[in-house]
């Protein structure tokens, strides 16, 4: 990636928030591994990747970091305004199903919240770790951090979330999957 000759200017990196998402950890990894150590940077977290896209279009961020699991990543790739400048691999923090600490699980009426990207793990984790849960619904939210928060507030029974978000919300693990191998794309706005 070609960086501005003015190293005193701050590079803003846009990705999915809120604080504690796998995207935030990936953006921090990108800064530590791929950017000059003395380049001032900041990570801007957005509630949706479409807001990251808009911020890149409006020059509110200099780069966008997007996981390959994002179901609308084509809106970044197939956009005449953007250039793909790098791909890299970075595993997510460990994922699992988490509940409110001390709560009891029932085999019915279980509401599970998850970001859409890792949702296929729910069936696997239930079948291999919690076969007693047979009656459940899945509700999609905008990030795994939001999922963890909904369990903390009692609005959901289980969250499919990353370990760090679960720890931030004092949740208890009921079924571990582990890290998810993930590819990430780095986009900039195309220069005129």
Residue 3 lies in a domain: no
The rounded distance, in Å, linking the Cα atoms of 140 and 46 is: 17
User: Residue 50 above 50 pLDDT?
Assistant: yes
The DSSP bridge partners found for residue 44 are: 14
Average pLDDT over residues 176-188: 97
The rounded distance, in Å, linking the Cα atoms of 18 and 35 is: 23
C-alpha distances (whole Å) from 127 to each of 19, 106, 121, 161 are 31, 15, 10, 18
**Residues 65, 99 within the same domain:** no
**Residues 171, 135 within the same domain:** yes
**Residues 144, 171 within the same domain:** yes
Q: Full-prediction pTM beyond 0.85?
A: yes
**Residues 83, 105 within the same domain:** no
Residues above pLDDT 90, as percent of the chain = 91
Look at residue 96 in the predicted model and tell me its pLDDT. 97
**Residues 161, 115 within the same domain:** yes
Residue 153 lies in a domain: yes
User: Residue 5 above 50 pLDDT?
Assistant: no
Q: Give residue 4's pLDDT band: very low, low, confident or very high (50, 70, 90).
A: very low
Residue 2 lies in a domain: no
Residue 6 lies in a domain: no
Alpha-helical regions (H) of the chain = 22-34, 49-57, 74-77, 120-129, 144-152, 163-168
Provide the 3-class DSSP secondary structure of residue 50.
helix
CATH number at 52 reads: 3.40.190.10
Look at residue 170 in the predicted model and tell me its pLDDT. 96
**Residues 102, 83 within the same domain:** no
C-alpha distances (whole Å) from 151 to each of 9, 14, 145 are 40, 27, 10
User: Residue 98 above 80 pLDDT?
Assistant: yes
How many structural domains are present in the chain?
A: 2
Q: Give residue 191's pLDDT band: very low, low, confident or very high (50, 70, 90).
A: confident
Residue 20 lies in a domain: yes
Per the structure, the complete domain to which residue 58 belongs is given by 11-91+181-189
Residue 137 lies in a domain: yes
């Amino acid at each position: 990636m070609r960086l501005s000759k003015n190293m005193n200017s701050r590079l803003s990196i846009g990705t999915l928030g809120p604080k504690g998402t796998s995207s935030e950890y990936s953006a921090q990894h990108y800064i530590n591994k791929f950017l000059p150590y003395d380049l001032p940077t900041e990570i801007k977290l957005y509630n949706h990747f479409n807001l990251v896209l808009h911020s890149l279009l409006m020059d509110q961020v200099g780069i966008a970091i997007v996981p390959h699991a994002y179901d609308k990543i084509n809106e970044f790739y197939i956009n005449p305004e953007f250039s793909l400048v790098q791909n890299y691999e970075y595993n997510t923090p460990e994922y699992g199903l988490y509940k409110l600490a001390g709560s009891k699980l029932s085999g019915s009426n279980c509401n599970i919240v998850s970001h859409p990207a890792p949702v296929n793990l729910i069936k696997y984790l239930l079948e291999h770790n919690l076969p007693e849960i047979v009656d459940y619904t899945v509700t999609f939210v905008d990030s795994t951090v939001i999922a963890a928060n909904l369990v903390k507030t009692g609005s959901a029974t289980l969250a499919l979330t990353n370990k760090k978000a679960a720890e931030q919300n004092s949740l208890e693990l009921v079924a571990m999957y582990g890290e998810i191998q993930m590819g990430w794309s780095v986009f900039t706005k195309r220069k005129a």
